[in-house]
Amino acid sequence: MEVTLKRGDITTGRAGAVVLGILEGGAPLDGAAAAFDRRLSGAIARLRRRGDVTGRFLETVVLYPAWPRAPRLVLVGLGRRAELDAARVRLAAAAAARRARDIGAGSLATVAHGAGRGGLNAEVAAAATVEGAMLGAYRFTAYRSDAGARPLERVELVERDAAAAEAMAPAVARAAGAARATCLARDLANTPGQDLTPDGLAARAREIAGLAGATIEVLGIPQMERLGMGALLAVGRGSPHEPCFIVLEYSGTGSRAGGARSRTVEVAVRPGARVPRRDPRGDTRRDARLRVSPARAPRETPRDTVVLIGKGVTFDTGGISLKPRENMHRMKGDMSGAAAVLGVFSALPALALPFRVVGLIPSAENMPGSRALKPGDIVRALDGTTIEVTNTDAEGRLLLADALGYARRLAPAAVVDIATLTGSITLALGHAAAGLFTGDDRLADALIAAGEASGERLWRMPLWDAYAPEMRGDTADLVNSAAREGGACLAAIFLRHFAGDMPWAHLDIAGMAWAGSERPHEARGATGFGARLLLEWLSRRASAAATPTWGAAPASSAV
């Protein structure tokens, strides 16, 4: 989708649809809505008087004026002025874009909702409008024989004032990058497991890294064996598709030298692309694309390195501890953490980061094959810890254990892992927030603020020492699964062992990675949760100023 910011008069431009926001409460029309009402001889005002247009939050009404420049006019309710904020603007813009898409508009022009009488900062309103429109217009149609109505190909934000348009430009570019990152993460997580195996995920990571100017290494079985990644290797044992460990690095120096750039990465889904299977004779080391040189010795830059870890289980059957059949098809999205990290990397060129960002993606397919990990087996993680496997469906924490052990070698300033880790977090928080686990108060505050600003909320969960005894093993140092009660907290305590003394946070996004019903900014399926949150956090971390970034409201605002 093309996104442009144009200085001019929205009543004179051309678009398949024009979107106008209407406040609830009966106040006179102003700004673009008043200008259009004059051109339509008072038609919008008459509809309001009759009650056909109320401005109620997310209400959408379509008018078809006899006007060749804009044959469709979409009115979207912004709700009451006192309740209007960036989150509501984002949702209203998404609802309007979805309606414009469904009526075949092809393109839309809009003003920044809430920037006039709505009382919002113009840059915040512009960024939220663009972000919402892009998220709302998203559909995953790669496997449909009939893709339905034509997609929205262009979103144009129009601002009359030249100075305001110039001030909006950086925020709009960053918001577009964040929305594209989310849509990329959605595409990856929506792709069936048959077409996105671990080495298929590695291939996509190579594309993204190449376009974003990042370096990448993909470690295959021989390299992981030399490193001692016994936990990750054990998870992938039962699948014909080999596990891998993906290491991405973005130095940030290019952005710092050249300033913030608006270039973002769009990678198309290629349905039906198959990947080589394991050699029928059982040799697990024959995929040449995974036979790469050993990892370079990590550079010790404690103050300059931020590590993002994304769980990359491309399909999770549960292994020998087989999952029930209900909703197992959604387990293609068990790599949503990895998808979020790759989405972040696609958008990093638009940020001027004064630090290095390293992405670690441990990837495997959890299958109940003849060589699969069994309950009671003991594996040794990269840091030497032995783990008794009491539940093969608690495989994600095994992958993250080795990734955290690898991260410790980088001496990072901060580590955040993101994973669809436990069903327990959904029982605790539902589908309103992801769980945040960390012992670092400053890191917790920063991530929570970024979540509120981006609309991807976090709720801090306990990480108490009292949970630790339940994860101690009888025949090994640890068990990978214990009681069902407090399962999300027990999983986080398990991970804390491998994080050691790093400034570390764990995001359990199992309740947020998949939408079971349609919402204005989320179609049913993968949500791409975490990409915008992490971009907001990185952007805030890079800047000492308290100015809003990535289309967010100031930290003091409730978003």
DSSP per-residue codes, 421-439: --SHHHHHHTTS-EEEE-S
**Residues 412, 306: contact at Cβ < 8 Å?**
yes
Provide the β-strand partners of residue 63: 73
Please report the pLDDT score of residue 28 as a whole number: 87
Q: Closest Cα partner for 136 from 535, 515, 510?
A: 515
Whole-number Å distance between alpha carbons of 227 and 294: 9
Whole-number Å distance between alpha carbons of 175 and 123: 10
Binding positions: 311, 316, 334, 393, 395
Q: Residue 552 pLDDT more than 80?
A: no
Give per-residue pLDDT as tens, 305-327.
999 999 999 999 999 999 999 99
- Give the mean model confidence (pLDDT) for residues 88-96: 98
Residues 2-159: name the CATH superfamily: Leucine Aminopeptidase, subunit E, domain 1 (3.40.220.10)
Please report the pLDDT score of residue 253 as a whole number: 56
Which one is predicted more confidently, 174 or 261? 174
Q: Closest Cα partner for 454 from 77, 96, 130, 90?
A: 90
Please report the pLDDT score of residue 67 as a whole number: 74
Confidence tier at 460 by pLDDT (50, 70, 90):
very high
Residue burial 453-485, b: 16+ Cβ < 10 Å; e: rest: bbbbbbebbebeeebeebbebeebbbbbbbeee
Between helix 31-39 and helix 43-50 the angle, nearest 10°, is: 110
Q: Residue 532 pLDDT more than 90?
A: yes
Q: Give residue limits of the domains in the chain.
A: 2-159, 187-269+304-542
Percent of the chain with pLDDT over 90: 82
The CATH T-level fold of domain 187-269+304-542 is Aminopeptidase (3.40.630)
Please report the pLDDT score of residue 544 as a whole number: 41
- Give the mean model confidence (pLDDT) for residues 122-149: 95
Q: Residue 145 pLDDT more than 60?
A: yes
Please report the pLDDT score of residue 447 as a whole number: 98
Confidence tier at 285 by pLDDT (50, 70, 90):
very low
Amino acid identity, position 273: A
Give per-residue pLDDT as tens, 11-61.
988 999 999 999 999 888 988 999 999 988 999 999 999 999 999 999 999
Give per-residue pLDDT as tens, 218-269.
999 999 999 999 999 999 999 999 999 999 999 975 433 333 333 334 444 3
Which run of H or E residues covers position 188? Answer: helix 162-190
Cβ neighbours, 10 Å, residue 96: 31
Active site amino acids: 323, 397
- Give the mean model confidence (pLDDT) for residues 161-173: 95
Average pLDDT, the chain: 89
Q: Residue 417 pLDDT more than 70?
A: yes
* DSSP 3-state of 215: strand
Q: Which position has the token pair 């990947």? A: 275
* CA quadruple 439, 441, 445, 450: dihedral sign: negative
Q: Closest Cα partner for 132 from 89, 100, 171?
A: 89
- Give the mean model confidence (pLDDT) for residues 518-531: 96
- Give the mean model confidence (pLDDT) for residues 355-369: 97
Residues 6+ away with beta carbon under 8 Å from 356? 249, 250, 251, 252, 301, 304, 305, 306
Binding positions for Mn(2+): 311, 316, 334, 393, 395
* CA quadruple 388, 392, 398, 400: dihedral sign: negative
Phi, psi of 200 (to 5 degrees): -65, -40
**Residues 550, 535: contact at Cβ < 8 Å?**
yes
